[in-house]
Chains A and B, each alone.
Chain A
């Protein structure tokens, strides 16, 4: 048992709250780095649209200021982990020693790149390509840092016996989580930038200012929706890996205690899609362009898809394959939810592409700043829903492995149950493959039945391994 000088609920709440708060900042920051560097890149390419530079600088400033808050929350969370969950954290650290070390190194690198990137903006005016290189290094080290911590987070849900050094880093859900966060970071940052721009647009008094913030809002939204469309596909893959490797967690999330929360989650996702496309529709309508009609059709498709996606399968209770209550046939995963997701994904892609095509002339499109305030309120709502969605996703994923802290190995009650930790060093160095762990399934016992190895094929001289 962990030393229990605080009730378990309080200990769980402390970690949960701090990490959720940290992730809000961390995801936003990585997304802001990407957006800022991209804006600077496009400014360089577009020969003279100085608003892109203004946008990039603004993003850089916000990111530089906000970085310490995100980091402080992470440190606070680590602090409470060591106080409240020392045994568990010791195991986690031992199992993921090298990921933690690399994460710390890349953290230092990110900081090393971030501050010069922001503070030399003016002095590197004439060396824009060097500044861009610095920004790119920043983005790369930030994503590497995220990849390292994703290994640890994924390990808690799908721990893999570390049969080689590389497998420590590539446990089953590490890469899906990476992709999920890659797309989610940029999307979330896009929505936050859009929300901030909406806030500024609502408060601005001069037309030029309003036009600028209106345009920034559209860029944020394009990034937001333009990366959100991949999330359903990545999410499906993430779920498949969880089902294959930690089936009890899958059952909890999709068929058990947390499945209703998943319906709430896809409702949030649908709202994000719908509000984004509604925003696009409103903006296009300002100019009376004919593509407004197509956007209307796309919005309708997304609406149908959303209604299909949020259907629950069972109104009642469900555990694994046994359900009690009223079965809603429209709520079945196959084919309805897949059809809904496919339709929404395609609709979002086309909507974003047409939006980019319609407002291709950038700030010179004469309709920025005009129109009512509905579009700006939509952006504010999008920011709030995106933020909620991220918090909820973390809550669902982390609670799906209860009562395990490391799935199938370490529990809250008995943290001394060690999973298999680091492989013993082999003479060839960390990157050689030691003998893999035996993977035979339970022997069949009857002669002639196929168990591992009894293939009976004749072989020529076998290739040397």
Chain B
């Protein structure tokens, strides 16, 4: 088969202006389409939830030896339908303080549980181990269980929908 020669139009001012116009229009259309879409998709990065306080339990229900798991529900925001964010809170006394920490393993996010027979909090997914105060004691996780922002009002314990990361404890093997 004979290869056809492709003729380019000769360079001229008119040609240059034409190219510029096409490029400009194409660019403008792309930005007009893509801009909103990109913004639409990425807008979640800018959203955050407002601070909410929820009652967990009364102070009599908090033990010093065994962390107790309570369920709290925060009102969900940034959604067209009303929904609840349900989270688990472990509460335990340590000396004269009350600790409130989450039940979400810091490894891959599974829900941990207190096992009385081994006196440890264990994650069923990959065997992460925490002690009764939520400090990391073994396994793949990198951090101890994060605290909930909490306060005591009267005889009740309240937590907010903010977590405070705890990092690793000193000297963990």
Residue numbers in B under 8 Å from A448 (CB-CB) = 57, 61, 70
Known: A244-B127, A446-B68, A448-B70. A333 touches B173 (CB 8 A): yes
Q: Is the CB of B88 within 8 A of A450?
A: yes
Q: Who on chain B is nearest to A241 by CB?
A: B127
Interface size class of A (residues with CB under 8 A): 10 to 19
Q: Is the CB of A243 within 8 A of B138?
A: yes
Residue numbers in A under 8 Å from B127 (CB-CB) = 240, 243-244
- A-contact 0/1 string along B113-144, CB 8 Å cutoff: 11111100010001101000000011100000
Other contacts beyond A446-B61, A449-B61, A450-B69: 20, CB < 8 A: A240-B126, A240-B139, A243-B129, A243-B138, A244-B122, A244-B127, A321-B137, A441-B113, A441-B117, A442-B116, A444-B66, A444-B68, A446-B60, A448-B57, A448-B61, A448-B70, A449-B68, A450-B70, A450-B71, A456-B71
Interface hits, A416-450 → B, CB 8 Å: 441-442, 444, 446-450
Interface size on B, residues (CB 8 A): 25
A151 to B171, CA, bound (A): 37
Residue numbers in A under 8 Å from B137 (CB-CB) = 321
How far, in Å, is A338 (CB) from chain B's closest CB? 9
Partner of B70, one of A240, A333, A441, A449: A449
A448 to B57, CA, bound (A): 8
How far, in Å, is B127 (CB) from chain A's closest CB? 5
Known: A243-B127, A456-B71. A449 touches B57 (CB 8 A): yes
Residues in B lying within 8 Å of A, measured CB to CB:
57, 60-61, 66, 68-71, 88, 113-118, 122, 126-127, 129, 137-139, 171-173
- B-contact 0/1 string along A305-319, CB 8 Å cutoff: 000000001000000
A332 at the interface (CB under 8 A from B): yes
Residues in A lying within 8 Å of B, measured CB to CB:
240, 243-244, 247, 313, 321, 327, 332-334, 441-442, 444, 446-450, 456
Residue numbers in B under 8 Å from A333 (CB-CB) = 173
Residue numbers in B under 8 Å from A447 (CB-CB) = 61
How far, in Å, is B122 (CB) from chain A's closest CB? 7
Q: Who on chain A is nearest to B171 by CB?
A: A327
Number of A-B contacts (CB under 8 A): 44
Q: Who on chain B is nearest to A318 by CB?
A: B173
Q: Is the CB of A332 within 8 A of B173?
A: yes
A442 to B67, CA, bound (A): 12
Q: Is the CB of B173 within 8 A of A334?
A: yes
A450 to B115, CA, bound (A): 13
Q: Is the CB of B57 within 8 A of A441?
A: no
Residue numbers in B under 8 Å from A321 (CB-CB) = 137
How far, in Å, is A241 (CB) from chain B's closest CB? 8
A465 to B68, CA, bound (A): 31
Q: Is the CB of A313 within 8 A of B173?
A: yes
Q: Who on chain A is nearest to B60 by CB?
A: A446
A332 to B173, CA, bound (A): 5
Partner of A449, one of B69, B117, B138, B172: B69
A390 to B96, CA, bound (A): 52
A461 to B146, CA, bound (A): 37
A291 to B139, CA, bound (A): 39
How far, in Å, is A37 (CB) from chain B's closest CB? 36
The 9 closest A-B pairs by CB, nearest first: A446-B61, A442-B116, A450-B69, A449-B68, A240-B127, A332-B173, A441-B116, A244-B127, A333-B173
How far, in Å, is A248 (CB) from chain B's closest CB? 10
A133 to B117, CA, bound (A): 50
Residue numbers in A under 8 Å from B113 (CB-CB) = 441
Partner of B114, one of A243, A441, A446, A456: A441
How far, in Å, is A426 (CB) from chain B's closest CB? 28
A240 to B115, CA, bound (A): 16
Q: Can you list 9 A-B contacts (CB < 8 A)?
A: A240-B127, A243-B129, A247-B118, A441-B113, A441-B117, A446-B57, A447-B61, A449-B61, A450-B69
Residue numbers in A under 8 Å from B126 (CB-CB) = 240
Residue numbers in B under 8 Å from A327 (CB-CB) = 171
A243 to B70, CA, bound (A): 27
Q: Who on chain A is nearest to B120 by CB?
A: A247
